[in-house]
Structure 1
Amino acid sequence: MRGLTDGDDSPSRGSLQAVITAAAVLAALALLVSACATGGTGTRDEGPARADSVAGAAASPSPSPVRTMQTVDPVRLVKEDPLVSDAVKKSLRPCVGDDYPVDVSYGDLTDGSVDDVVINVLTCGDAVGVGSYVYRADGDRYQNVFQSEESPVYAEIDRGALMVTKQVYKNGDAVANPSGENVITYVWKAGRFVQDSFHHTDYGTTVDTDPTKVPAPAPADN
């Protein structure tokens, strides 16, 4: 009987241990395969993480276009422009030394990649505007896209629009004392300047243009 209970080399006991060992190996293999199938983290890699990364990439702003300013020689530009009248070209002479009577400003008027150039040609004595011009960059050249030679005139850039001021004179008005002014605003549309607004101002006494109003009679002399 002693041999039956302490006999470790019996065939039945060895077979049982072999079965237990094989089952443990299979369980370990199954656990390893399950971990590999889930990416080694025990949980599946779902879509939210990918969605966040895509949203972050889409939110990156695109760079805005960069405008450039190129300075010009205004005197040369006006004198070489075939659209400028001979009268304005002849009047464009130095006042003192090499000081020409021109005002130049740069800004965005025509939505180009290079700033537009506004040039006013003035008289030497009283700085009255004899011509106003707008030039737009066209490659390595500048194109005349607006001009006004109805003196006195002055053009300037006003919040992206072209504002042209023309003095109004009546008979007997001195050059330094006009009776009023017209202010015309132009905007760039479809490749050209079009009038956007018009405003007239009378200096001094306000004139009532309502035809239904009759002025009061003057007092009688005693």
Structure 2
Amino acid sequence: MRGLTEAGSERIRGSTQAVIAVGAALAAVALFAAACGTGGTGARDEGPAHASAVAGTLASPSPSPAGTHRRVDAVQLVKKDPAVSPAVKRELKACSGDEYPVDVSYGDLTGGPVDDVVVNVVTCGDWVGVGTYVYRDVGGSYKNVFKAEESPVYSEIDGTDLTVTKQVYDSDDPVSNPSRETVITYRWRASRFARIDSHETDYSKAGGDAAPEPGN
């Protein structure tokens, strides 16, 4: 009897394992069919997987803190700014339709509760920078905290620094080929932008090597 019992147990275990194996196979087929049915081409519809997804975790971008970014009407901001020269305001007219020659970027330059706004005003056609400005939110209104109007000039946000590029043309230089270019880096210190670095590139020299300005 013991032999029959052991044999019967083996048959029961074998049958159970077979049922489990069949069930697992059916589940795998169903999962594969569902994945194909959602996009037609499976995972390729989503592009290559990120490393974190392969590792078993889902990657998601960190959201920006609420309230740190507020879009502005840059054209009206410049036109109503008493610190902007009349000459720049005259250049600030529509090039075609309702397209104005302004370039706007947002970033944390001054450590305020709302992103600062950098506005570059350029000319229509050749897009030469005629004025660049930084606006900081102060009590819900934007205040001009930096300006440069020595054309050609253009500003960019570099991390938490402001970089201002000024180009110098000799009398016979075309717009596309200035003789020299100076890049000045500013950082917000003690409620103002302080100059912390600068370098100049002289394109008239062979190789166009960059050299620091005297005293830097």
Shorter-chain TM-score range: 0.5 to 0.7
Residue segments in structure 1 that go unaligned for 5+ positions in a row: 1-64, 209-222
Shift of 1:171: 2.3
Residue segments in structure 2 that go unaligned for 5+ positions in a row: 1-64, 210-216
- Output one character per residue of 1:179-213: Cα deviation in whole Å (capped at 9) or x when no partner: 120000000000000101010001253489xxxxx
Partner of 1:82: 82
Shift of 1:140: 1.9
Show structure 1 runs of 4+ deviating over 2 A: 204-208
Is 1:163 the counterpart of 2:160 in the alignment? no
State the secondary structure of the residue aligned to 2:90: helix
Matches within 5 A, 1:8-27: none
Matches within 5 A, 1:53-202: 68-202=68-202
Q: TM-score, normalised by structure 1?
A: 0.62
Identity %: 62
Q: Distance in 2 between matches of 1:131 and 1:162?
A: 14
Q: TM-score, normalised by structure 2?
A: 0.64
Letter in structure 2 aligned against 1:119: V
Compute the RMSD of aligned alpha carbons. Answer: 1.6
Q: Distance in 2 between matches of 1:99 and 1:67?
A: 28
Q: Distance in 2 between matches of 1:179 and 1:189?
A: 32
Q: Distance in 2 between matches of 1:194 and 1:82?
A: 22
Count of paired positions: 144
Partner of 2:50: none
- Output one character per residue of 1:7-42: Cα deviation in whole Å (capped at 9) or x when no partner: xxxxxxxxxxxxxxxxxxxxxxxxxxxxxxxxxxxx
- Output one character per residue of 1:48-100: Cα deviation in whole Å (capped at 9) or x when no partner: xxxxxxxxxxxxxxxxx766100000000000000000010011000010000
> Does structure 2 retain, via aligned residues, the 8 Å contact 1:146–1:193?
yes
Partner of 2:36: none
Letter in structure 1 aligned against 2:85: S
- Output one character per residue of 1:115-143: Cα deviation in whole Å (capped at 9) or x when no partner: 00000000001000000000000122100
